[in-house]
Structure 1
Amino acid sequence: MSDVAALPSRRPNRMWAVVILILLEAALVISWSAGFVGIRFAIDHAPLFLILFWRSLVSGLILLPFALTVGPKIRLQDAVPQMLFGALAMSGYLAGFALAISYGVPTGLVALITDMLPLAVAILSWPVLGQALTARQWLGSFIGLTGVLIASGWSLDIGNVPLWAYGLPVLGTLSLALATLLQKRSPAGAMPVHQSLSIQCLSAAAIFALFSWHEGSVLPVLDPGFVGGILWLVFVATFGAWSLYYLALKKSSPARVTAILYLSPPVTMIWAFVMFGEPLSWAMAVGLAVSLVGIVIVARAQQPAGGQSPAHA
């Protein structure tokens, strides 16, 4: 009798749990998209590599005290591979999509291309891990790339964007995929995320400092737009997105969280349209839908060769 009486009280608790999960996932998608929007906003106030330098430096320095005091002692043999991962995952990925945005590639299209990470991981799994693609992975890759071509075909006519600029986010995504697979193979890949992320951010900051110095200066710009953009990229796009990502993984399954993140390109497209007036089109919508089908096919058929790197967005 007591078990029957307890049933009605369990339903509201379960309903609230579902509501909280949906709100958490919505916040995750928004914060995941914030990296692309933040870069698009910040480049109106400062040179690109200066933005990437200060984003990486501030993120790494904030995490450094926790990396040194919380968790196992950082050994040199573990730190060196993390520096390599930072060069690939942070420097290569961030520079790739940020440069594409700075050259005028639509922000939503950049988000769509970089969301092809499962395809890039699947393609690189054969040379890096010796895992050949299955028939479903080939099919998903073909569908996903077809969607990108449909979405980008229209955007080629909306401005004077150099054709090679569309390859920058592709190279960045391949760089992130390579770092993801190498990190999976390396014993250093088991380092706690706050330690690995701090090292990767600081190593990327060192690389971006060289490019920023070549651009003219590494000193911050005393402009509210620059300061606000850096704070946005650090606390929303980096710490916020990844905190929500790991929290969502605790509340739900990896498959569901990954599927939720596929909503970030359309959110980014709408966000860029509202904030910056970047045009939308039916071709971009159709291409987006086609590519997401391909990504889902690849992600479901893929061996668990590693999750996404903390460098995303």
Structure 2
Amino acid sequence: MNALLSTAFVLTWSSGFIGAKLGAGSASAVTVLMWRFLPLALVLGAVALTLMRDSWRGLTARDIGRQALVGALSQSGYLLTVYYAIQLGVSSGTTALIDGTQPLVAGALAGPLLGQFVSRTQWIGLGLGVGGVVIVTAADFAGGGDTAWWAYLIPFLGMLSLVAATFLDRRSTRHVGPAVSLTVHCLTSAVVFTALAVAARSATPPAEVSFWAAIGWLVTLSTFGGYGLYWLILRRSGVTQVNTLMFLMAPVTTLWGAVMFGEPFGPQTVLGLAVGLAAVVVVRRGERPRAAGAPAGRGTPESAKPAAKARTGQ
């Protein structure tokens, strides 16, 4: 089951970068994001008021506010930087690989914030992952035409936003069901992106079929698929586990982007992706399984699992 969930997560999360590229061809980033979330938020809000009332019982205004903040970081902040970078000319594969540096940041913070153990071997793997990012980004920048150098820094802001949301969610002791979380996150994003689009006078959607095809792609594959699976796997397996999968987004997205959009895929890109894949292998081998009968306490890779399972009912 974990292997199937991981595979589905990699494919659907990668689809978001491709969908962003599809949407960038017909509208600005805030326009695409507004119409990705506004209809979805209306539907989820209606369902929450009619079919999911029991899921909201016992939740306080503070709980909802915390989830709204998580949504603002993990959806609004993260997606805006990804879409804007792609709109500026950064390739979808490079954006995906930069976002894949999440394990380094998450690994550095997992110990002091969550008490999760990160081994020396895992740190070596995480360092390899950063090396892969540097190689691919350099290749993309060299062939990026008029893309400004600072555009390559924007995806790092999105990565930091998602890492912050991850730790904010994991430090919560209150059970909030996935359906409630997704609803609050999407409602928050709809408000944020609608406000930004109206302020930028970009709220009117284009009439092109390609725009609405991109919206359908993003809602179905990226939101319900990638975003939903991110939180599911996070709560089942922990921060380090789910974030190491981010290294796999880059090769999938790069191949996808090369086929669909003719994005660069030369020897230097292949080398960087190979280094990124090697990082995944090293990080996985660096995991230390918990001894039989050992408590899931501080200093073990499983330290956050009991709380995570309690919040998801698993």
Could you state the TM-score of these two structures normalised by the residue count of structure 2?
0.78
Deviation, structure 1 residue 67? 3.3
For 1:168 and 1:122, the matched residues in 2 are separated by 21
User: Shift of the alpha carbon at 1:278?
Assistant: 0.9
* Contact 1:63/1:198 (<8 A) preserved: yes
Amino acid at match of 1:167: L
Answer whether contact 1:259 1:296 (CA < 8 A) is retained. Answer: no
Relative to structure 1, the CA distance from residue 306 to residue 155 in structure 2 (aligned partners, 3 Å threshold; closer, same or farther) is: farther
Q: How does 1:58-77 map to 2 (within 5 A)?
A: 58-68=39-49, 69-70=51-52, 71-73=55-57, 74-77=59-62
Decide which moves more: 204-213 or 238-247: 238-247
In the TM superposition, what whole-angstrom CA distance separates every residue of 1:152-208 from its partner, at most 9, and x where no partner exists? 1111111221111111111101110111001111234x3111111111111122222
Q: What is the correspondence of 1:11-90 to structure 2 with a 5 Å cutoff?
A: 28-68=9-49, 69-70=51-52, 71-73=55-57, 74-90=59-75
**Inter-partner Cα distance in structure 2 for 1:118 and 1:306:** 16
Aligned partner of 1:52: which letter? L
| 3-state SS, counterpart of residue 105 of structure 1 | coil
- Quote the offset at 1:261 in angstroms: 6.2
Aligned ranges for residues 149-298 of structure 1 at < 5 Å? 149-158=134-143, 159-188=145-174, 190-241=175-226, 262-298=247-283
Q: 1:10 — aligned with what?
A: none
Q: How much is the aligned-residue C-alpha RMSD, in angstroms?
A: 3.4
2:131 to 107, 123, 146: 146
- Name the SS for the 1:156 alignment partner: helix
State which structure, 1 or 2, has the greater radius of gyration over its C-alpha atoms: 1
SS in 1 for 2:142: coil
* C-alpha separation in 1, matches of 2:237 and 2:142: 40
Deviation at 1:295, TM superposition (A): 4.3
Q: Deviations over 1:55-114 (max 9, x none)?
A: 122332332234343224243221100111111111111112111111111111111121
Query: Judging changes above 3 Å, is the alpha-carbon distance between structure 1 residues 116 and 219 closer, same or farther for their aligned structure 2 residues?
Result: same
* 1:228 positional shift: 1.3
1:100-141 CA-to-partner distances (Å, cap 9, x unmatched) read: 111111111111121232222113335645778653343233
Q: Which runs of 5+ in 1 are unaligned?
A: 1-16, 309-313
Distance 1:176 1:246, change over 3 A: closer
Conserved 8 A contact 2:78-2:161: yes
Give the direction of change, closer, same or farther, for the CA distance of 1:96–1:295 in structure 2 (3 Å limit). Answer: farther
2:92 match? 107
- Per the TM alignment, residue 39 of structure 1 is displaced from its structure 2 partner at its CA by 0.6
How many correspondences in the alignment? 287
Q: 1:65 to 1:277 in 2, by over 3 A?
A: same
Evaluate the alpha carbon distance shift between residue 248 and residue 147 of structure 1 in structure 2; reply closer, same or farther with a 3 A threshold: closer
CA contact (8 A) 1:106 1:278 kept: yes
Counterpart amino acid of 2:301?
Q
Q: TM-score scaled to structure 1, two decimals?
A: 0.78
Distance 1:184 1:245, change over 3 A: closer
